Amino acid sequence: MIGFSFAEYGLLLALMTAAVVVGTSFGKKVLTGFNEKTFLIVFNTMLIALALKLIVIDGLRAIFGGN
């Protein structure tokens, strides 16, 4: 068969769709408790932490051939 088999991944697609709905609802509730300045501080801190993780941990792993 050419194309994508929805039947094979139906349960996974349904679970991911439910996760999106729950995550969006949770995110809206959380964001109403933050003002813009607090949100930007948290957001930028998380971005910096992820960037450092990618550069330091994953970069060293790639250089030295770890798993």
pTM, two decimal places: 0.56
Please tell me the number of Cα atoms within 13 Å of 48 on its side-chain side.
6
The C-alpha torsion from 47 through 23 and 37 to 42, rounded to 10°, is -30
Give pLDDT, residue 1: 53
Give the Cα separation of 65 and 50 in Å (integer): 21
Considering the chain, what percentage of its residues have pLDDT values greater than 90? 46
Give pLDDT, residue 66: 67
- Over residues 26-54, mean pLDDT: 91
